[in-house]
């Protein structure tokens, strides 16, 4: 009887005193993950010059994780736990972040990054550790060439460069183009090159080709723009990120440059028009997704995203969502959290109906998908065309 009483007291003590005390003092953030949880690491630029890339892609990842967990989790009821590292949009941070995620957090897979240079920096760490890495938005071809554990759910820049060069030639009837590229970005340098190759081999001419230092370093582009103006281009291709693109647009207009400015997916940010304002009206960029797409899958995503984050999604958000969804599916297909088995499952993804289009992982671990071209008007980016792969 005494033993029973002691047991009961112990039980009451544990349930009503010890556990609440531990919860209150430790706080929810340092509670250890349940042994059952599946830990997925994510690295993204939550702060710094490309902060909207990281914030919006991780919103997409979060939405997918919630849906998977609410539907019962993976591998027969295990929940996904995301461990997030902010790389601050800075070189050097991605490798530190991914080393930590792999070595200390025991992440079984990594989602990230958006910017190609940061994916390129972290990919060898995942490859060596045999931990699959899946990039939502890095479009430079060399990212997935880092090894057979490195995947992406987006198209690559030889395609994107062709899309914009063709658009300049066929839709804008541009014959002479000036290029202003970011020397600090593998994405920018690659996209400039692929654009140039198609444009010049189809009758166009690059009249001026200049550069700047991105990542929030250069803020004054008037010296380059003054030179560009003397070349009298029909349009200017600026394959950089939104912070610089917005400033370049403003300064171009202040120097009396009136021709359309063209960009790639690096322009896709709600901050673009906050920075560039009316200077961007009548400018075009290519990206992965349009909120104006009538496809029910897209509209359903837009609704869910708005309900949770009280904002319209840009291209990054559905890419993050698709990346996490495909990873979840691959973990289930693998039937295991083993890196090599997940890699094999990712490599065999076929016709997955993503928000950003149908995703088939090809033999180079890339996804062949359509691109959209958007036109900036006011604070909006309006759908102009969809270009199949
Ligand atoms: N494609 C860009 C890069 O490789 C990143 C990006 C993806 C930006 C999607 C916007 C939207 O660096």
Give the residue, out of 141, 187, 354, with the most ligand 1 atoms within 8 A of its beta carbon, to mutate for a pocket test.
187
371 lines ligand 1 (CB under 6 A): no
- DSSP character string of 362-373: -TTS-B---EEE
Mean pLDDT of 184-191: 98
Q: For ligand 1, what atom is nearest to the CA of residue 188?
A: 12
Nearest-10 Cα torsion for 332, 336, 339, 343: -40
pLDDT at 128: 98
Ligand 1 center to residue 156 CA distance, Å?
Answer: 10
List pLDDT tens digits, range 348-359: 999 999 999 999
Ligand 1 center to residue 271 CA distance, Å?
Answer: 14
Higher local confidence (pLDDT), 187 or 5: 187
| Radius of gyration for the chain, computed over Cα atoms and rounded to the nearest angstrom | 23
The confidence band for 11, taking pLDDT boundaries of 50, 70 and 90, is low
The confidence band for 30, taking pLDDT boundaries of 50, 70 and 90, is very low
Task: Name which of 31-45, 54-68, 354-368 the model is least confident about.
Answer: 31-45
57 lines ligand 1 (CB under 6 A): no
Ligand 1 center to residue 195 CA distance, Å?
Answer: 16
pLDDT at 32: 53
Ligand 1 center to residue 366 CA distance, Å?
Answer: 14
Nearest CA to ligand 1 atom 9: 137
Give the C-alpha separation, 102 to 107, whole Å.
Answer: 5
List pLDDT tens digits, range 255-270: 999 999 999 999 999 9
User: With left for phi above 0 and alpha for psi between -120 and 50, is residue 38 left, alpha or beta?
Assistant: beta
Is the pLDDT at 22 greater than 80, yes or no?
Answer: no
Mean pLDDT of 120-132: 98
Nearest CA to ligand 1 atom 7: 137
159 lines ligand 1 (CB under 6 A): no
114 lines ligand 1 (CB under 6 A): yes
pLDDT at 331: 98
- DSSP character string of 203-217: T-EEEEEEEE-TTTT
Nearest CA to ligand 1 atom 8: 266
Is the pLDDT at 2 greater than 90, yes or no?
Answer: no
Ligand 1 center to residue 137 CA distance, Å?
Answer: 5
pLDDT at 16: 56
Average pLDDT, the chain: 93
Is the pLDDT at 335 greater than 90, yes or no?
Answer: yes
140 lines ligand 1 (CB under 6 A): yes
pLDDT at 243: 97
- 33 to each of 30, 64, 78, 383, how far by Cα in Å? 9, 19, 11, 43
pLDDT at 109: 98
Mean pLDDT of 330-349: 98
pLDDT at 28: 46
Q: Facing residues of 341 across strands?
A: none
List pLDDT tens digits, range 79-101: 999 999 999 999 999 999 999 99
The confidence band for 1, taking pLDDT boundaries of 50, 70 and 90, is very low
318 lines ligand 1 (CB under 6 A): no
265 lines ligand 1 (CB under 6 A): yes
Percent of the chain with pLDDT over 90: 91
Give the residue, out of 138, 189, 264, with the most ligand 1 atoms within 8 A of its beta carbon, to mutate for a pocket test.
138
Is the pLDDT at 228 greater than 80, yes or no?
Answer: yes
53 lines ligand 1 (CB under 6 A): yes
How many CA atoms, within 13 angstroms, populate the side-chain half-sphere of residue 87?
33
């Amino acid at each position: 009887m005494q033993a029973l009483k002691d047991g009961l007291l112990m039980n009451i003590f544990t349930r009503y005193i010890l556990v609440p005390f531990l919860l209150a003092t430790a706080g929810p953030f340092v509670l250890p993950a349940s042994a059952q949880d599946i830990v997925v690491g994510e690295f993204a630029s939550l702060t710094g010059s490309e902060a909207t890339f990281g914030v919006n892609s991780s919103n997409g990842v979060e939405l997918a994780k919630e849906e998977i967990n609410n539907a019962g989790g993976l591998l027969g009821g295990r929940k996904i736990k995301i461990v997030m590292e902010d790389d601050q949009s800075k070189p050097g941070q991605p490798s530190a972040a991914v080393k930590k995620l792999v070595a200390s957090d025991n992440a079984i897979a990594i989602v990230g990054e958006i910017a190609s240079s940061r994916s390129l920096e972290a990919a060898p760490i995942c490859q060596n550790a045999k931990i699959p890495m899946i990039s939502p938005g890095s479009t430079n071809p060399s990212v997935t060439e880092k090894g057979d554990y490195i995947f992406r759910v987006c198209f690559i820049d030889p395609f994107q460069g062709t899309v914009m060069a063709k658009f300049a030639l066929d839709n804008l009837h541009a014959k002479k183009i000036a290029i202003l590229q970011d020397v600090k970005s593998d994405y920018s340098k690659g996209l400039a090159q692929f654009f140039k190759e198609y444009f010049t081999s189809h009758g166009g001419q690059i009249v001026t080709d200049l550069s700047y230092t991105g990542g929030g370093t250069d803020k004054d582009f008037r010296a380059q723009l003054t030179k560009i103006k003397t070349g009298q281009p029909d349009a200017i291709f600026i394959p950089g990120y939104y912070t610089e693109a917005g400033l370049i647009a403003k300064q171009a207009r202040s120097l009396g440059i009136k021709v359309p400015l063209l960009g790639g997916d690096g322009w896709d940010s709600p901050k673009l028009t906050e920075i560039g304002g009316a200077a961007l009206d009548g400018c075009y960029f290519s990206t992965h997704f349009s909120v104006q797409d009538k496809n029910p899958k897209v509209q359903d995503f837009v609704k869910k995203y708005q309900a949770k984050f009280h904002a319209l999604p840009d291209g990054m958000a559905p890419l993050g969502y698709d990346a996490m969804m495909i990873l979840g599916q691959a973990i289930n297909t693998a039937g295991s959290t083993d890196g090599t088995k997940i890699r094999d499952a990712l490599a065999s993804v076929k016709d997955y109906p993503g928000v950003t289009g149908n995703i088939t992982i090809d033999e180079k671990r890339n996804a062949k998908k359509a691109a959209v071209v958007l036109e900036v008007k006011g604070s909006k980016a309006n759908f102009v065309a969809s270009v199949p792969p």
